[in-house]
Amino acid sequence: MKIVAIVGQKGGPGKTTMAENLAVEAAAAGQHVVLVDLDPQASAAQWADRREASAAELHVEVQSAHVARLAQVLQVAQRAGVQLAILDTPGRAADAAIAAARAADLVLCPFRPSIVDLETVGAVRDLLTTAGNPRTLAVINAAPSRGGRHTEAEQALTEQGFEVAPVVWGQRNAFGDAPNAGLAAREFEPGGKAAAEALELYRFTTKLLNQ
């Protein structure tokens, strides 16, 4: 079983959206996937409730768990034949983020190309150091369609020692609207730019996990 943790040090950079979309892409690829929601706000678990109500065709198992139970949840998932576990962590909760990062084969850190997000880079780096410096990939999310802010953000992240994903997620309505019905971008707007970006990130993540 491979484990991917989505980690950040503030609310709003897109951690839960990224976790949901990657989980659906994994399901579409035929993987047995579980999304573990470590956020006390249970946003991913609520998304799963809406997903069940909308009768989505792809099955994504979502488990809401306290960080103290993470190891046990992952052990049960592995025994059940889960191939990919995605850990969605809360913002400003270092204990959960550190535990998730320690358990992960790969950590994804979404950052919006804004000063508010980039000011958290040092805190995220400290968190990852505490977690033992797992393989980490920064992902630029919600990049404006015009201007070079995503390029500037990539440079800032690289200067802080982050490996930056070659996949950039744009500021897409589908990423914001799909969760309202418990869906991912590929289900909400098949063939759209958000769906293509989600698939591209899933494929790149899978490549890294299988290296």
Q: Is the pLDDT of residue 160 over 80?
A: yes
The answer as to whether 187 is a domain residue is yes
- Give per-residue pLDDT as tens, 84-96: 999 999 987 789 9
Q: Is the pLDDT of residue 150 over 90?
A: no
Mean pLDDT of 58-83: 97
Q: What sign does the CA torsion over 47, 51, 54, 58 have?
A: positive
pLDDT of residue 149: 84
| Structure tokens, 135 | 């393989």
Mean pLDDT of 19-28: 98
Q: Are 108 and 139 in contact (CB under 8 A)?
A: yes
Mean pLDDT of 112-117: 85
Mean pLDDT of 5-33: 92
The answer as to whether 191 is a domain residue is yes
Q: Are 102 and 72 in contact (CB under 8 A)?
A: no
The answer as to whether 17 is a domain residue is yes
The answer as to whether 78 is a domain residue is yes
Mean pLDDT of 194-211: 97
* Residues of the domain holding 137: 2-205
Mean pLDDT of 100-111: 97
| Structure tokens, 16 | 């839960």
Helices (H), the chain: 15-28, 43-53, 70-79, 94-103, 115-118, 121-130, 149-159, 173-177, 185-188, 193-209
Q: Are 105 and 2 in contact (CB under 8 A)?
A: yes
Mean pLDDT of 11-25: 91
Q: Is the pLDDT of residue 189 over 70?
A: yes
The answer as to whether 210 is a domain residue is no
Q: Is the pLDDT of residue 177 over 80?
A: yes
What type of residue is 184?
A: A
Q: Are 99 and 67 in contact (CB under 8 A)?
A: yes
pLDDT of residue 120: 86
Q: Are 16 and 108 in contact (CB under 8 A)?
A: no
**Overall number of domains in the chain:** 1
The answer as to whether 179 is a domain residue is yes
The CATH code of the domain that includes 8 is: 3.40.50.300
Out of 8-22, 66-80, 154-168, 187-201, least confident range:
8-22
Q: Are 36 and 87 in contact (CB under 8 A)?
A: yes
pLDDT of residue 11: 66
pTM: 0.95
The answer as to whether 173 is a domain residue is yes
What is the distance between the alpha carbons of residues 113 and 57, in angstroms, rounded to a whole number?
Answer: 34
